[in-house]
Structure 1
Amino acid sequence: MKNVDYIIVGDGYAALFFAHQLTRNKKSFVIFSEGRKSASQISAGIVNPVVLKKFTTFWLAQEQLDFLKTSLDEIEEYTGVNYLIKASIHRIFHDENEQKSWLKKSQSEELEGFLDKNFEHLEVVKNDFNTGIVKQSARLNVQGFFNDLLTFHQTNSRLISEKFNYHELNVAESTYHDYRFKNIVFCEGMGVKNNPYFSDIPVIPNKGHHIRVKLSQPIPENLTIKKKHFLFPLNNGMYFYGGTYDREQLHEHIDESAIEQLRNGLSEFYPLDFDIEEVHFGFRPTVKDRRPIVGRHPVHADLYVFNGLGARGILNGCYFSKSLYDHIENNKDLPKEISLERFPNKKDA
């Protein structure tokens, strides 16, 4: 029987950022990875402190940005790579009213650190009313982040490439297969609905599609363009464009209506020809109050959940991984805004 401090179930942002907390604190652990690409692994990787529909920000935005940069610097120490791509978001204005709204909000104390007062005009794309630049915005190199970190954990004999089987978990003995653990953290995204211990947490699937396209003329580099969706270059001459949000069409295949929505959205500001080369989709685990769900099982004290990261998986996963670690190891209270305990009757939440 092998003794480990932690078993992590899942391989998305929640799992890998929590694994980083364990790595830097020299805890022993294994990660159970099913090997299917999670919603995290096909995400855009946008790091963005602004809600770009309303030009507002959100809870702990600056703290989350700062903590992400620190964490990625720490991760660089053992992978040799920093996965933060400094590519600012340029939000295309729909009309003059949006320009005025942006400018007004950029002078507020809450948003002056995020909204640039100076507008910019881009070549190639249609932006008659210019673009607003989101300060401190960036992207994560998603493919590099997951490939390198999963390889790092595999090299260190921490990655178990198989589906976790709940029936083989002995909660009374704190064992699973040939592992004796102190704690298990379930970071399963929408897979949590099959978890007998946490299936009632109120996460709502939100299906997102994105397309990978070839543009007939390249757009300016080192930036991310946003109108309805995000457009930015990938490493292989293609561009990422997406993603959609859909709480209704939740079947496990591509929706033609989503592709049409993306084709039309891109055509609005990219007036030249483009070819759709690939279509991808995944299911984001979202929560009504837009806060993650983190906490200990009400009966089994060594079982924990870290879920509901929504569309801000990078920032939420990174920042609140420390909150969960401190809760388990140092008995610190979780912020009530993210605590599992805010849902006394979870199915009714």
Structure 2
Amino acid sequence: MLVDYILVGQGLAGSILANHLINAGCSVMVFDDPLLSNSSKIAGGLYNPVTGRKMVKTWNVDNLFGYLTDYYPKFQQQLEADFVNDIPIYRPFISPEELNEWMGKSADIDYSSYVKAVHNSSAYGNQVNDDFGGILLNQSGFVDTGKLLDASRIFLEKKKSLTQTYFNPADLKLNEGFASYQGIKCKSVIFCNGHKSLEQQYFGWMPLRPVKGELLMIKTEEDLRVIHNRGVFVIPLGNGICKVGSTYDHQNLDENPTIEAKNVLVHKLNELVKFPYEIEYQLAGVRPATKDRKPIIGQHPEFKNLISFNGFGTKGVSLIPYYAMQLTQLLTEAGSIDDEVNIERFFSLY
């Protein structure tokens, strides 16, 4: 069997990259073991142009959001699914000083396109603690990653482009100009398998810094029309169900929910919201973050037909579409990868 590219992993990175390659006229075979963990399935799925405690623009936001706001609606239409939710994010201010800062920023051309409104008094006081007002962001929302992955799996199965089994690197044969795996010959093998790359001989040297994240699913009778985000995010999924997260743990990297994380989330949630809720259940997963918080993309320093498309961490929904486009252009049109995410920045570690 001959295909252009083998992809390892059908998480968010593998699914979106496969879609880009297929749309560019390439044939792919995606290997995904359903028995292995997949942090994409439980991700918060936020795309948020203003993030962090200091509320600054997401890194490379103009390029990322200029692309993803057009890409995701087309992607869901192609998959005949419904997983994109364009919804404002509301971030309460914690002080009058923060309010004053954002009154100025909202008029700044660098920020104005991402700001829907700046409230100088409580706007959602029946739902959250926002005595100093807050900022309402646009070009924001969330992707239901579980629905996306299910729809992508069905799409790939129809194209006979998905093999649901473990990819064993020991069976990978590398040759000049091509690679082969269990009877499948391809130009390159692209690893989109998250922190599992650290367990493999080819990319185990990369400075991935896996981080465990835990979420709560809660139920409330409150009618939420925005995503509340301060300390934790509260994403309304419909029918009173909300996703609340997230925690960050670099030490304990199993996928078992913990009472410690639950207590942290409940404490932060109670600081933010006023409405009553019930906890339905808790989820945990391990994200493939990196030490410099940027992805690692490009060819292996020695084996040129092995490629990393990895390290998207907590902002995968925002980062992956744009860099899937870049990698696809590199593979099909002799494009290039941004220096900030190029794997070459870590070649000295190999």
Alpha-carbon offset, residue 83 of structure 1: 3.0
- Residue in 1 that maps onto 2:181: 176
The separation in 1 between residues aligned to 2:279 and 2:11, in whole angstroms, is: 26
Q: CA RMSD in A?
A: 1.8
Alpha-carbon offset, residue 125 of structure 1: 2.8
The separation in 1 between residues aligned to 2:76 and 2:241, in whole angstroms, is: 26
> Does the CA contact (< 8 Å) of 1:52 and 1:91 recur in 2?
no
Letter in 2 for 1:220: L
Alpha-carbon offset, residue 56 of structure 1: 1.1
Alpha-carbon offset, residue 272 of structure 1: 4.0
- Residue in 2 that maps onto 1:190: 195
- Residue in 1 that maps onto 2:170: 167
- Residue in 2 that maps onto 1:325: 328
- Residue in 2 that maps onto 1:211: 216
Letter in 2 for 1:135: N
- Residue in 1 that maps onto 2:3: 4
> Does the CA contact (< 8 Å) of 1:91 and 1:225 recur in 2?
yes
- Residue in 1 that maps onto 2:33: 34
Alignment of 1:266-285 (within 5 A): 266-285=269-288
- Residue in 1 that maps onto 2:138: 135
- Residue in 1 that maps onto 2:106: 106
**Cα shift readout 1:73-126 (whole Å, capped 9, x = no counterpart):** 432442223532121100022222222222222232322222344316113333
Number of equivalent positions: 344
The separation in 2 between residues aligned to 1:230 and 1:98, in whole angstroms, is: 19
**Cα shift readout 1:203-226 (whole Å, capped 9, x = no counterpart):** 1011111000122x31422x1011
Deviates more, 1:25-34 or 1:251-260: 251-260
> Does the CA contact (< 8 Å) of 1:49 and 1:65 recur in 2?
yes
Percent identity between matched residues is 26
Letter in 2 for 1:251: D
- Residue in 1 that maps onto 2:69: 69
Provide the TM-score with structure 2 as the length reference. Answer: 0.93
> Does the CA contact (< 8 Å) of 1:242 and 1:262 recur in 2?
yes
Q: Out of 308, 314, 317, which is 2:317 matched to?
A: 314
4+ residue segments displaced more than 3 Å: none
The separation in 2 between residues aligned to 1:38 and 1:50, in whole angstroms, is: 26
Letter in 1 for 2:51: V
> Does the CA contact (< 8 Å) of 2:207 and 2:290 recur in 1?
yes
Q: Out of 154, 159, 162, which is 2:157 matched to?
A: 154
The separation in 1 between residues aligned to 2:222 and 2:275, in whole angstroms, is: 10
> Does the CA contact (< 8 Å) of 1:75 and 1:82 recur in 2?
no
- Residue in 2 that maps onto 1:263: 266
* 3-state DSSP of counterpart to 1:343: helix
Structure 2 gap ranges (5+): none
> Does the CA contact (< 8 Å) of 1:125 and 1:219 recur in 2?
no
> Does the CA contact (< 8 Å) of 1:210 and 1:281 recur in 2?
yes
Alpha-carbon offset, residue 309 of structure 1: 0.6
- Residue in 2 that maps onto 1:121: 123
> Does the CA contact (< 8 Å) of 1:56 and 1:111 recur in 2?
no
The separation in 1 between residues aligned to 2:63 and 2:280, in whole angstroms, is: 38
Structure 1 gap ranges (5+): none
**Cα shift readout 1:37-88 (whole Å, capped 9, x = no counterpart):** 5112211111111124212113321221121122224324422235321211
Q: Out of 228, 231, 246, which is 1:228 matched to?
A: 231
**Cα shift readout 1:264-301 (whole Å, capped 9, x = no counterpart):** 11111323432211111111112222211001011212
**Cα shift readout 1:225-258 (whole Å, capped 9, x = no counterpart):** 1110110222453210001112233234222211
Letter in 1 for 2:333: N
> Does the CA contact (< 8 Å) of 2:179 and 2:189 recur in 1?
no
Letter in 1 for 2:301: P
- Residue in 2 that maps onto 1:89: 89
* 3-state DSSP of counterpart to 1:153: helix
Matched, 1:58 2:63: no
> Does the CA contact (< 8 Å) of 2:40 and 2:146 recur in 1?
no
> Does the CA contact (< 8 Å) of 2:173 and 2:180 recur in 1?
yes
